[in-house]
Amino acid sequence: MMAAFAGTAAFLAWVSMPWLGRAVAIPLNMAIATGSLMLILDGTLRFRGLIPPGRLRWMTPVAVMVAAVQVHTNLDQDWLRIVLNDVLNSLILSAMIASLLHRARRDERIIHLMIAVATALMIAVYLIRVDVALATPRGQFRAPGDPAHAYVFFVSLIFILSWTFGMLLMVNLKVQRALADMADRDPLTGIGNRRMLDRLAGRHLPRSGTALVLIDLDGFKRVNDDHGHKQGDQALCWIADMLKASVRPGETVIRMGGDEFALFVEEAGDATALGQRVHRLAARINIALARDRHQMPLPRRISTGYAIAPDDGQTLTDLCAAADRRMYDDKHAARPAGAVAVRDR
């Protein structure tokens, strides 16, 4: 928005030349135009998450001052003023294209490409004007009288419209993505929910090596009963954080509901490798539970069960059933001898 206002101010300065005078209108126009491009570059980099907020803001006033001094110094040498200004602006525009195309998501590429094409067209017109300024005898090149300036203003309009339309599309896309992400997230822990698990299963099953790990909290009911639901929620968040810190690429942590969690594994290898992975995961979390239990109410341990496709089934329902059986085998094996065999919830 600031860049749009700056661009409008630059245009008004240009058309107001008869009233402002050449010595004021031209430096004002060209300096503000360069500043507006810097604002767009800064906004693009922040919008793409490539730099933290405020990292390049100091560059905008510096660019405006450099442009103003350059234009004022070369006010009577139209060819040199245009060459220096257009080369600077072309460099800024090139940085915009690079920031747009750098690691663009698949659903963003068409929008980014549209804006990049309009930006490249703007660069081409700037370079054409530079070529005209260098090719025309120095005393005969006049701005704004040369026809090359008309092309710059016309393409500038296309450039501004493309960026405005493209940014509206990008904002809409990000809002839709954020809403979809909220629907796939557990509101308490921030990890995936059952809806995300169903979506992952639909994408990867029944591919061989896809696996599901179920994780249940032994003694969680006592945390709620003895310390209240607020402490229970904190215990669930602790478990979720531990699982998130333990996952590898291609693994997604899910909260199935209540005190039951899951780990969806896209490429688990074979059943032996998966079993070893689950054993190490459970050992790590159970050691952390024993270590931190004196600091906050936590479950006694976690029980785990796993299933892998296609050995244990080819659908999510089949994998859940197989993993559930193994999880309760693990739960019962850890129960002290003589303890009543009930579901520990």
**DSSP collapsed to 3 states, 179-215:** HHHHHCECCCCCCECHHHHHHHHHHHCCCCCCEEEEE
How much is the pLDDT for 8? 73
Beta bridge partners of 307: 212
pLDDT band of residue 143 (cuts 50, 70, 90) is low
Q: Provide the CB-side half-sphere exposure for 328 (13 A, CA).
A: 10
pLDDT band of residue 324 (cuts 50, 70, 90) is very high
Whole-angstrom distance, CA of residue 248 vs CA of residue 205:
19
Mean pLDDT over the full length of the chain: 85
Which is it for the CA torsion 271, 273, 298, 197, positive or negative? negative
Model-level pTM? 0.59
In this predicted model, which residue has the larger pLDDT, 177 or 335?
Answer: 177
How much is the pLDDT for 314? 87
Given a cut of 80, whether residue 211 has pLDDT beyond it is yes
Chain centroid, CA 180 distance in Å: 14
How much is the pLDDT for 207? 84
